[in-house]
Amino acid sequence: MTTTGERPVTPVGEEPVTAPGGEMYTLVERLYPLCRSITGDGVRATLEIVDEYVPLQVHEVPTGTRVLDWTVPQEWNIRDAYIADSTGERVVDFAASSLHVLGYSVPVSATMPLAELRPHLHTLPEHPSWVPYRTSYYKPDWGFCLAQETLDALPDGEYEVRIDSTLADGHLTYAEHVVPGQVPDEVVVSCHVCHPSLANDNLAGIAVATFLARALARETPYHTYRFLFAPGTIGAITWLARNQERIGNVKHGLVLACAGDRGHLTYKKSRRGDAEIDRVLRHVLASSERPHEIKEFAPYGYDERQFCSPGFNLGVGSLTRTPYAGYPEYHTSADDLDFVSPEAMADTLAVCREAFAVLDRNRRYVNLSPYGEPQLGRRGLYDAIGGRSDAKQAQMAMLWVLSLSDGEHGLLDVAERSGLSFDTVAAAADALAAAGLVKA
């Protein structure tokens, strides 16, 4: 773990990434108890743990810094918070769950009757045993979140209310991990790190991003991959504000969230709607025959909102399982460790890897012998593939690559037009390039 200005030096682990589902689940378990918010030590502790898996460059941005249309807020930290009844028993206790306190609560220390306390209590009447997740980042307030059934059981009377928090000038913290590629063109992979004890939204996304970075770091991918671990909205805005000169390098991006529930995968397109990342995810999901959904862009959800704002308009989509606000457990205590599964996270990770493999190989070739078909047999290109069980497909793939390599079509176009798998098409392009018949 390094801080701004230094480059990561920790060597990337050499061990094979086995059973990533289990490892990701372990990471989620470790992160679960921490009380994250858009600033503060919970974020730092989270990044320290992630740094054990992939080396992070951590950035600390002072309160008050102007970032685009926003200003970095004061830093919030909390040590303890509870409501105690007249016997001194804690009926609501932050130590039991970080969800119990309204995020960014100002400090309070008072005794008051239940009636006076009620406006500060947040429940979910429709799910009486669940604790909701609530925040008040930009309007000073304090409050507690609790189960409706807990509230219903509270007798009238005086309660001691205490929130031992501080809201003071400090920093906003975010981190990056860069996997250098063969070209400076970047793919940004972003996940938010500002939610407290919620497993699917956001810990599964953090875990998948972490293991995706670790997998890519074992090779030299074509693109440079930049992983961003930042608080939602203000974190992405801060990164964008501080990297405006770099934005031109960002060719593609993916926001990861809700990556661990048992629902099927959902890809939400970039604002452009036909960005290369959109086409890659559509192709990978369709050809994988996984149940999935492709959604049009909407200016709501996660940090694709910022990356796709019209001034930037980056080709950044969002991959989730069940999407934003699409499940009852969303932003409640029921989004817990049981709500996510190792298998689901492994599946999300696998699709990301497939998608980036396609993205990295999706180049446009030019047929160097475009008048009539070149004589493949003379060059051993039928033989070269004759022994393979998919010889016929490989031959068709060569003809398709030759046909469409006019500088206008990439290999993904070839795969889509031909109905062949991207791998078959890419292998054909490699064989043709080796024979000097096409050039990237």
Q: In 10 A of CB 223, how many CB atoms?
A: 21
* Contacts with 356 (C-beta within 8 Å, 6 or more apart), sequence order: 187, 212, 216, 221, 223, 225
252 annotated ligand-binding residue: no
Cα–Cα distance between 356 and 277 in angstroms, integer? 9
The Cβ of residue 338 has, within 10 Å, a number of other Cβ atoms equal to 9
What is the contact mask toward a copy of itself in residues 127 to 146, using x (rule: CB under 8 A)?
-----------xx-------
CB atoms within 10 A of CB 269: 24
Q: Kind of pairing, strands 364-367 and 438-439? A: antiparallel
Q: Judged by CB under 8 A, does residue 88 bind a copy of itself?
A: no
Give the Cα separation of 103 and 145 in Å (integer).
10
Among 306, 318, 333, 424, binds a copy of itself (CB under 8 A): 306
Joined tokens for residue 439: 């050039």
If one asks whether residue 427 binds a copy of itself (CB under 8 A), the answer comes out as no
Q: Which stretch binds a copy of itself (CB under 8 A): 36-44, 257-265, 369-377, 423-431?
A: 369-377
Q: How many residues does the chain have?
A: 440
**With binding defined as CB under 8 A, does residue 190 bind a copy of itself?**
no
Binding a copy of itself (rule: CB under 8 A), the pick from 399, 430, 434, 440 is: 399
Mask: binding to a copy of itself, 241-260, rule CB under 8 A, as x and -? x--x----------------
Is 100 annotated to bind a ligand? Reply is no
By CB under 8 A, tell whether 393 contacts a copy of itself.
no
Please give the single-letter amino acid code of residue 100. H
Confirm or reject binding of residue 69 to a copy of itself (CB under 8 A).
yes
331 assigned ligand-binding residue:
yes
Closest CA to 67 of 46, 90, 44, 39: 39
Residue 237 touches a copy of itself, criterion: CB under 8 A: yes
The most distant pair of C-alpha atoms in the chain lies apart, rounded to whole Å, by 93
Q: Please report, in range form, the residues annotated as the binding site for Zn(2+).
A: 195, 201, 331
Per the annotation, binding residues are 195, 201, 331
Binding site for a copy of itself (CB under 8 A): 68-70, 138-139, 233, 236-237, 240-241, 244, 271, 296, 298-300, 305-306, 308-313, 367, 369-375, 377-378, 396, 399-400, 402-406, 417-418
